[in-house]
Amino acid sequence: MNSVFCGIDWATDHHDVALLDEAGSLLGKLRIDDTPAGLTQLLDLLAQHGDSPQHPIPIAIETSHGLLVACLRAAGRPIYVINPLTAARYRDRYALSRKKSDHLDAKVLANILRTDPAEHRPLPADSHLAQAITVLARAQQDAVRDRVQTGNRLRSHLREYFPGFLTVFEHFREGLASPVTRTLLAAAPTPRQAAQLTRAQLRSILKKAGRQREITGEVERLHTLLRQPQMQQPPVVEEAMGVKSLALLRQFDAACTSADELETATVAAFAAHPDAEIITSFPGLGNLTGARVLAELGDDRERFPTARALKAYAGSAPITRASGRKTTVLARHIKNQRLASTGYIWAFASLTASPGARAHYDRRRATEERHVAAQRNLFNRLLGCLHHCLSHRIPYDEQTAFPNTA
């Protein structure tokens, strides 16, 4: 049992450190810079109060990222990440006047470990490969969101002065992100310029975009669409809007390139992980969605001792609020949002890949459950299967997962 507890109030350029004993007395405090010298000062302070590889002093901090956390994890210190909202609630126990300072916040974090260590979990001991997959998968997910946001801005702008262009990419699976669409818009950002494109120029644009088949038919389709009559802005205004479209298009091209490159890197890192084969054996989980699942779960098997803990972390398990004779079952809103969003994609894709998943979803819908609730319940079921398969190192089996499927 640890007798010394450390709290670190994290900031951009400096960190406040407080050490408390079992009685809550302050043993030492320190303000360090975010530099190697500051890390050395922190380690020396911990060593002065009994820190050792056999009995490391636990550390509470409000972030799981950054070089300070990475170095402390590499040094073998147990790191407890405390939610800032939780820390704010604990602060009221020690300062009724609602005063706040960096040193007080560091003491509050140390007191959280001193009084309620069982209510908080340390950072999982994930492998370096799993941590790298987490970085790549989250970056790719953010890049996809940036791509969607930038594409929506560009589409909204085109609707204001060039609505005829929106019909160009209606049948493309990638939509506005299609190489043909982006190359065509870069060549003719205004209706007047687009209407002046010849068939030879359109053929050249399609080849530049990588089109290799059915070029003649596509040239005729574009030639007809771009010459259809439509309402137009004044020429000067239209030219200005065309310049803005090119600026938005450059941002959109960068977002598309980033998302594609990060997807390639994520899939390559995920394929090298030993859990990849088990994860991708599940219906509805490909390399990219599987990498997103692994990124949020990690590969520390002790992190989620039971499937119930994993389901609560993912937000698929409901919460129960009971008071007297009143009991209410609600969806869980405090959860890992990235894993939850991936879970809906996983559940939706499994409907066509697994007869058991489809039957399970249909049974939930037959009880007048909404689509989102039925998907969440299916995700909850699949998470339980995933926890079992990862714990026992076995692949997914349809008959074991859904034995009562007709």
Residue with tokens 């704010």: 88
- Look at residue 258 and tell me whether its pLDDT is greater than 90: yes
Over residues 371-395, mean pLDDT: 93
Q: How many CA atoms lie within 13 A of 348 on its CB side?
A: 9
Neighbours of 246 (CB within 10 A): 13
Specify the pLDDT at position 393.
93
Tell me the domain boundaries of the chain: 4-123, 132-268, 276-401
CA distance 38 to 282: 46
Token code pair at residue 226: 């771009």
User: 67 vs 72, 263, 295, 296, 308, CA distance in Å?
Assistant: 8, 25, 19, 20, 32
Specify the pLDDT at position 405.
60
| Chain center to CA of 136 | 10
- State pLDDT tens for residues 307-320: 999 999 998 888 88
- State pLDDT tens for residues 270-287: 999 999 999 999 999 999
Q: pLDDT tier at 55 (50, 70, 90 boundaries)?
A: confident
- Residue 307 corresponds to which amino acid? A
Specify the pLDDT at position 344.
92
Residue with tokens 């975009």: 209
CA distance 55 to 293: 33
- Look at residue 33 and tell me whether its pLDDT is greater than 90: no
| Chain center to CA of 390 | 21
- Residue 250 corresponds to which amino acid? R
User: 204 vs 23, 70, 170, CA distance in Å?
Assistant: 78, 51, 21
Report the percent of the chain where pLDDT is more than 70: 99
CA distance 289 to 279: 10
Report the percent of the chain where pLDDT is more than 90: 47
Residue with tokens 């916040």: 105
Specify the pLDDT at position 266.
96
Over residues 135-163, mean pLDDT: 94
Specify the length of the chain in residues: 406
- Look at residue 155 and tell me whether its pLDDT is greater than 60: yes
- More confident site: 1 or 116: 116
Q: Who's near 54: CB < 8 A, 6+ residues apart?
A: none
- State pLDDT tens for residues 162-198: 988 888 887 777 888 889 899 999 999 999 999 999 9
Specify the pLDDT at position 97.
67
CB 109 within 8 A of CB 9: yes
Specify the pLDDT at position 1.
52
- More confident site: 250 or 14: 250
Specify the pLDDT at position 35.
86
Specify the pLDDT at position 2.
63
Provide the whole-model pTM: 0.85
Token code pair at residue 108: 């509050």
Specify the pLDDT at position 171.
78
Q: Which of 77-81, 89-93, 225-229 has the lowest mean pLDDT?
A: 89-93
CB 29 within 8 A of CB 17: yes
Q: Who's near 136: CB < 8 A, 6+ residues apart?
A: 262, 265, 266, 269, 291, 295
- State pLDDT tens for residues 323-354: 888 888 888 888 889 999 999 999 999 999 99
Token code pair at residue 68: 């300070």
- Residue 36 corresponds to which amino acid? P
Over residues 147-166, mean pLDDT: 92
Q: Who's near 392: CB < 8 A, 6+ residues apart?
A: none
Crossing angle of helices 337-353/355-366, nearest 10°?
110
Specify the pLDDT at position 83.
86
Token code pair at residue 60: 């509470």
DSSP label of 122? B
Q: Could you give the 3-state DSSP secondary structure of residue 195?
A: helix
DSSP label of 13? S
Tell the CATH topology of 4-123: Nucleotidyltransferase; domain 5 (3.30.420)
